[in-house]
Chain A
């Protein structure tokens, strides 16, 4: 079974440009999460999709970030316009919805974004 995949693995852009990150979750996983790790800091939650619906977007830093999950399969995270402080590693994770103890969140390898 394929794991969570993310594209691109690295992206270097200029301040003010637009970047779109893509995440393909494990097939059949309704839960999809985006996280970010800024250098030297902890991994922080950005948002959570259940199928195509945004369940929780309380971690999105500002309105320059737009996440979508059309059709409930893959997800994109667009940053427009990018700022220097957006640099970091963006992780995607997916899991199965279940009652009781949470299912394991499976993480992708991350996209390293550098804004110059």
Chain B
């Protein structure tokens, strides 16, 4: 069985500050992990994914995430927040090559000027 926990349903940061969105997973098989972003009135867009290659994964828009097996974590970071980063972010896990994604509840990121 697999599950994802995202700590914090809402996160607020100032423009230029570090963004840290937390994701912990549970999986009985080696996981594949994803971060998706949903901007207002749009669909989900892939930010980055971990597929058992490098543990530090770089994505679009300056985001990156590090897979830490010992901590069962896949936290998303960005060194400097921009107003355009305001959106809802979803962490997801799957155990198979074609399996469905299991999502966390999402974290809404607000960026203050």
- A residues in contact (CB < 8 Å) with B: 3-4, 31, 33, 35, 41-45, 48, 50, 55-56, 59, 91, 93, 95, 97-102, 104-110
Cα–Cα, bound, A27→B100 (Å): 20
Chain B residues, Cβ within 8 Å of A4: 43
* A59–B44 CB distance below 8 A: no
> Chain B, interface size: which category?
20 to 34
A42-B104, A45-B101 as given contacts; A102 in contact with B96, CB under 8 Å: yes
Mark B16-40 against chain A: 1 for CB-CB distance below 8 A, else 0.
0000000000000000100010000
Interface check B7, CB cutoff 8 A: no
Of B45-53, B64-72, B73-81, the one contacting chain A is B45-53
Interface check B84, CB cutoff 8 A: no
Q: Which of B32, B42, B44, B103 contacts A102 (CB 8 A)?
A: B32
Interface check B89, CB cutoff 8 A: no
Interface check B13, CB cutoff 8 A: no
Chain B residues, Cβ within 8 Å of A33: 100-101
Chain A residues, Cβ within 8 Å of B101: 33, 35, 43, 45, 93, 105
Mind listing 11 A-B residue pairs with CB under 8 Å? A31-B98, A35-B101, A43-B103, A48-B99, A55-B98, A101-B32, A102-B32, A102-B94, A102-B96, A104-B46, A109-B42
Chain B residues, Cβ within 8 Å of A35: 100-101, 103
* B43–A107 CB distance below 8 A: yes
